Amino acid sequence: MQLYTYYRSTSSYRVRIALALKGLAYDAVPINLLAGEQRQTDYLAFAPQGRVPALGVDSGPVLTQSGAILEYLEERYPQAPLLPAEPLARARVRGVAALIGCDIHPLHNVSVLNYLRALGHDEGDIQAWIATWIEQGLAAVEALIGDEGFCFGPEPGLADVYLIAQVYAADRFKVSLEAWPRIQRVVALAAAHPAFAQAHPSCQVDTP
């Protein structure tokens, strides 16, 4: 598999964590978002939205959208499952993933922030915008996840994949986790877990 990735992209980080949790090897193909490589014609040919991640698989089309890629990996490689077996439990995990993937991350994507800048907003406005949506979203995550272990139990799963990548972005944007002890607990567990370490933005092929 080939993962088109950018080291500090939140959604690329999600897929890297899942690949590592499942023990799957892949070739990382860096796409430098600051240099605009996501808008180059050859990349747009298979990822027409001009975003990372994208996953090339041995046969078939290149896959886009981290949520779809994660579901593909879960179905194709069921080892180290990201979702519990029971339907209600699966829905709770997917609820946290959707909260982060749909209601937090899209609001601080680079093209959204650049559009706000183009509308005349200064960096103070941008920081307030980012902090508002991350804080509201993570406060809800804190209320939804469990009291022990990772988000929903002793083993990491899909909610942790989304949460740990989102927490990295929160840190980048100087949003404190102080108010959320459950999230802090999950972050500490992930920090000690080799799959999360392997996927971390600080140790990618394109990390500056």
Ligand X SMILES: N[C@@H](CCC(=O)N[C@@H](CS)C(=O)NCC(=O)O)C(=O)O
What residue ranges bind ligand X (CB under 6 A)?
9-11, 33, 38, 50-53, 65-67, 101, 109-111
Cis peptide leading into residue 53 (ω within 30°): yes
Q: What is the 3-state secondary structure (H, E, C) of 105-144?
A: HHHHCHHHHHHHHHCCCCHHHHHHHHHHHHHHHHHHHHHH
Please say which residue, 110 or 179, places its beta carbon nearer to ligand X.
Answer: 110
Residue with tokens 């808008």: 39
Least separation in angstroms between CB 172 and ligand X: 11
Least separation in angstroms between CB 192 and ligand X: 25
Please say which residue, 106 or 181, places its beta carbon nearer to ligand X.
Answer: 106
Helix (H) or strand (E) segment spanning residue 27: strand 27-30
Least separation in angstroms between CB 70 and ligand X: 9
Least separation in angstroms between CB 181 and ligand X: 27
Please say which residue, 95 or 153, places its beta carbon nearer to ligand X.
Answer: 95
Distance between CA 191 and CA 152 in Å, rounded?
17
Please say which residue, 107 or 177, places its beta carbon nearer to ligand X.
Answer: 107
Strand ranges of the sheet holding 63-64, from the earlier edge strand across to the other edge: 27-30, 2-5, 54-56, 63-64
Least separation in angstroms between CB 180 and ligand X: 22
> What's the alpha-carbon Rg for the chain, to the nearest Å?
17
Please say which residue, 24 or 113, places its beta carbon nearer to ligand X.
Answer: 113
Q: Among residues 23, 25, 22, which one has the least CA distance to residue 3?
A: 25
